Amino acid sequence: ISLRQFRTNQFLHKCGAALLNENWAITAAHCVE
C-alpha cells in the first residue's frame, strides 16, 4: 500500500507498506518518524 502525506494541496507518496490484515500495516520506522 502507499502511505501518502498531504502537502501543497495534494497527497504525495511518502513510503510503501505491507498490509497484514484489515487493521494493521507494516512499514519502515523512518516512514512514521
Q: What is the pTM of this model?
A: 0.58
If one counts the domains in the chain, the total is: 1
pLDDT score recorded for residue 1 = 92
Taking 80 as the threshold, does the pLDDT of residue 33 lie above it? Answer: no
Q: What is the pLDDT of residues 8-30, one digit of tens each?
A: 899 999 999 999 999 999 999 99
pLDDT score recorded for residue 21 = 97
pLDDT score recorded for residue 32 = 84
The answer to whether 31 touches 14, Cβ cutoff 8 Å, is: yes
Our measurement of the distance from residue 28's CA atom to the centroid of its chain's CA atoms, rounded to an integer in Å, reads 9
| Ramachandran assignment for 30, one of left (phi > 0), alpha (psi -120 to 50 degrees), beta (any other) | alpha
Q: Is 27 exposed, middle or buried (0-12, 13-18, 19+ CB in 10 A)?
A: middle
pLDDT score recorded for residue 9 = 94
Residue 16 lies in domain? 2-31
Distance CA 9, CA 19 (A): 27
